[in-house]
Amino acid sequence: MNTSKLQVAVSEREMSRVAVKLFLGITEEWGLTDEQRCTLAGLGTRTTLHNWRHKLDANEPIKLSKDTLERLSYLAGIYKGVQLLFSDPRQWKNWVRKPNRDFGGASALDRMLAGRVVDLVDVRRYLDGWRGEHYA
């Protein structure tokens, strides 16, 4: 393997480790169950979550599919968007669970738990638009 391919492989593994660590931290802060975590990450079973935790603890590489990495990226953006909108950490944690008329009375979390990538995209765009209104 040439040096540039090796660097890409290493950086992809490291990016995946960081993404998983961030995902687990965010979902822990939001008080989500493993079932909810699986839905958000697009995982079929909780075994993958268990394997991620084990690999993080053992400092082993983690390989994510492009779909999973995309989902985790949207969740990180949603989390950051909430932080930018609210100064109080309690609001960051509670916003995702509050009923929202713009989501038909459902919470952002309910919307995200529909399980499709587009649901994550919609919540992210909603926050970006809301932020634009407040900080334009």
- Whether the per-residue pLDDT at 10 is higher than 70: the answer is no
> What's the 3-state SS for the chain?
CCHHHHHHHHHHHHHHHHHHHHHHHHHHHCCCCHHHHHHHHCCCCHHHHHHHHHHHHCCCCCCCCHHHHHHHHHHHHHHHHHHHHCCCHHHHHHHCCCECHHHCCCEHHHHHCCCCHHHHHHHHHHHHHHHHHHHC
Q: What is the mean pLDDT of residues 23-28?
A: 96
Q: Residue 135 — very low, low, confident or very high, per pLDDT cuts 50/70/90? A: low
Q: pTM for this structure?
A: 0.85
The domain ranges of the chain are 3-135
